[in-house]
Structure 1
Amino acid sequence: MSKFSNFLGIDVSKEYFDAVVILNSDKNNTIHNQFTNDSKGLKELTNWLKSYQSNAENTLACMEHTGLYGKIITQHLLAKEFTVWVEMSLKIIRSLSVQRGKNDKVDAHRIAYYAMKNQEEAQFYQSTRKIVDKIRKLLTLRDHLVKTKALLIKNTNELKEFEPELAKLSQKYSKSTIQGIEKYLKNIEKELDKVIEDDEKLSNLFEKATSVVGIGKVTALLLICFTNEFTMYENPRQLACYCGVVPFEYSSGNNKLYERKVA
């Protein structure tokens, strides 16, 4: 029997988040509120939950992966010793089949209902180490710089075919920017190498990941970050399913379709 009687669903946006709590495992007995996505709003959330006797012992909190916007909420709930489940939005959508209507309150209720319905399969969130957060931020910055460089080069190359003179002007003014980006990219690579070298656990994981044919430095580090150092999955099959590289058969009559499933 589950220890949870209440289920908190949170729908996150940049400035606000909606919270719905299913009380006493009764999907028709719910409460809703909206809070600002900052320290003030989180304090109000805690007090609001407390007023309905919803606490860390009896409440399972569930939210979708939202990256930066949801991080402060997750950290706050963990600090208050709540059990937190951070789930992929696609899994929630598929689990609840056809749904009519959509707004932040409805989405928060769906997340709460998903948590209640699938509580036995919940994967409780574990905080990542600061060093892993640092790698993730460096990789995000690297990705932005690579895309910016590619965009500048593409723009100049396209102009060469139709506006040669304008292409020369574009190349002239983007040259220093591209050189600066290349310099920053090299510095990021050095910083990543240093972070890996200085942490024994991270170094071992990185070595094992890159020993797989086709797995390079960036892919290995992304896997380490998004799997919380390979702690989120019990076996390789689950990881492969999460990455969307496992084909699943969908058949009806004489028609067969193999689709890669995104977990």
Structure 2
Amino acid sequence: MEKNLFIGIDVSKLVLDATALFPSNEHFHRQFKNSKAGFNQLLKWVGKLNAKEGHGLVFGFEDTGVYSVGLGRFLSEKGLRFVSENAYRIRRSMGIVRGKDDQADSLMIARYLKRNLDELKFGHAAPDLLLELQQLSSQRERLLKEKSAHKTRIKEMRVLEGCLDMRFLLKVEKEMVALLDRKLREVQAEINRRIAAQRELREQKELLCSVPGVGEQTANQMLVLTRGFTRFPCWRKFSCYAGLAPFRYSSGTSVKGRTKVSKIANKKIKALLTMGALTSIKAGNEYRSYYERKTAEGKHPMAVLNAIKNKIVSRMFAVIERNMPYVCLQS
């Protein structure tokens, strides 16, 4: 049986706190810069610790967005085994934790790796194009939020127009909205350009858009979140990730809660799928007849809507797997 040296890494903006945990539970801690030079120093330190034992190496860290991208890419290029795990999953699996500091967190991550080795899914860095698309998508969301905030301020100022001179401020806010509109169009054009320049992503997007209820934004998000449909083994796993999978809530004979979806979800893609499902129902396509039939049978409208969202997800995965556009079999 292979013995492993587990390296738990707590990632922050400027530094990495690393703890190396041996099978004997002996552990050592050291801090490095969150940079390529720091990554190289981390490997040298781990190499010295492991020089005599020759254990297999297992690295792990919490997915902290932009701050952990560089570390993941570095380990992937070196061909090393690593796990980029959801912070919520790590903390929920480690029992009661009192207090918090970076050194203790890195040890907790190392212990998580050791305890769950058989269930770990070793990762690899996403292609640069998908990482760039992810950042562009995030920028688009930020611009949308800023635009919404300025439009809200315009509404508030109009309330004061009757008693105060708000012309200058209204002019400033309207100019900001116009500027954000222009920047949104530029960002969206750049997203479309990069997808169009990559043949596989372009073809996948065309397939996704053939599914009823899937628009351009939903297709773009699916490509980013699934890393070109390589991150999730099946549509059911993605459905759970998006917060669409219903779970029972019961215990013994007294607790009999209703089956419902979890609040642990990617709310961004869930909102897009909800809008797609609602638009499809209003448009009168195949989902509308399903919605009307199920609600007539007494199903709750929101439960039927959730079922439609799951249908959309399953069909997106199906068209990619079959490499064929969606065809409605209903007359």
TM (norm. structure 1) is 0.89
- Say which SS state the counterpart of residue 28 (structure 2) adopts: strand
Q: CA deviation at 1:11?
A: 1.0
- Say which SS state the counterpart of residue 86 (structure 1) adopts: strand
Q: CA deviation at 1:56?
A: 10
Tell me the residue number matched to 2:205: 206
Give, in whole Å, the separation in 1 of the partners of 2:61 and 2:54: 16
Tell me the residue number matched to 1:218: 217
- Say which SS state the counterpart of residue 107 (structure 1) adopts: helix
List gaps (5 residues or longer) in structure 1. none
Tell me the residue number matched to 1:43: 40
1:152-176 CA distance string (max 9 Å, x none): 1111212322465364332211222
1:117-174 CA distance string (max 9 Å, x none): 2222222222222221221121122112111111111112123224653643322112
Indicate the larger mover: 166-175 or 71-80: 166-175
Q: CA deviation at 1:199?
A: 1.6
Among all aligned residue pairs of Structure 1 and Structure 2, give the percentage whose two residues are the same amino acid: 28
Where relative contact order (Cα < 8 A, 6+ residues apart) is larger, the structure is 1
Would you say 1:125 and 2:123 are equivalent positions? yes
Q: CA deviation at 1:101?
A: 2.7
User: Is the Cα contact below 8 Å between 2:4 and 2:55 reproduced in 1?
Assistant: no
- What number of residue pairs does the alignment pair up? 260
Tell me the residue number matched to 2:229: 230
Tell me the residue number matched to 2:173: 174
Q: CA deviation at 1:111?
A: 1.2
Give, in whole Å, the separation in 2 of the partners of 1:109 and 1:185: 43
Provide closer, same or farther for how the CA distance between residues 64 and 166 of structure 1 changes in structure 2, counting only shifts above 3 A.
Answer: farther
Provide closer, same or farther for how the CA distance between residues 79 and 244 of structure 1 changes in structure 2, counting only shifts above 3 A.
Answer: same
TM (norm. structure 2) is 0.72
Give, in whole Å, the separation in 2 of the partners of 1:127 and 1:116: 22
1:73-107 CA distance string (max 9 Å, x none): 11222222211111111211222232233211111
Give, in whole Å, the separation in 2 of the partners of 1:109 and 1:51: 19
Indicate the larger mover: 147-156 or 76-85: 76-85
The amino acid of 1:32's aligned partner reads H
Tell me the residue number matched to 1:85: 83
Provide closer, same or farther for how the CA distance between residues 148 and 243 of structure 1 changes in structure 2, counting only shifts above 3 A.
Answer: same
Give, in whole Å, the separation in 2 of the partners of 1:230 and 1:197: 17
Indicate the larger mover: 61-70 or 137-146: 137-146
- Say which SS state the counterpart of residue 6 (structure 1) adopts: strand
User: Is the Cα contact below 8 Å between 1:10 and 1:17 reproduced in 2?
Assistant: yes
Give, in whole Å, the separation in 1 of the partners of 2:121 and 2:37: 28
Tell me the residue number matched to 1:94: 92
- Say which SS state the counterpart of residue 60 (structure 1) adopts: strand
Would you say 1:256 and 2:287 are equivalent positions? no
The amino acid of 2:122's aligned partner reads F
Give, in whole Å, the separation in 2 of the partners of 1:30 and 1:213: 54
- Say which SS state the counterpart of residue 193 (structure 1) adopts: helix
Give, in whole Å, the separation in 2 of the partners of 1:56 and 1:229: 36
- Say which SS state the counterpart of residue 149 (structure 1) adopts: helix
The amino acid of 2:34's aligned partner reads N
Give, in whole Å, the separation in 2 of the partners of 1:57 and 1:171: 66
The amino acid of 1:42's aligned partner reads F
Q: CA deviation at 1:4?
A: 5.3
1:56-76 CA distance string (max 9 Å, x none): 971111111111101111122
- Say which SS state the counterpart of residue 102 (structure 1) adopts: coil
Give, in whole Å, the separation in 2 of the partners of 1:175 and 1:136: 29
Tell me the residue number matched to 1:29: 26
Give the 5 Å matches for 1:104-123: 104-123=102-121
The amino acid of 2:42's aligned partner reads L
Give, in whole Å, the separation in 2 of the partners of 1:241 and 1:97: 23
Provide closer, same or farther for how the CA distance between residues 209 and 117 of structure 1 changes in structure 2, counting only shifts above 3 A.
Answer: farther
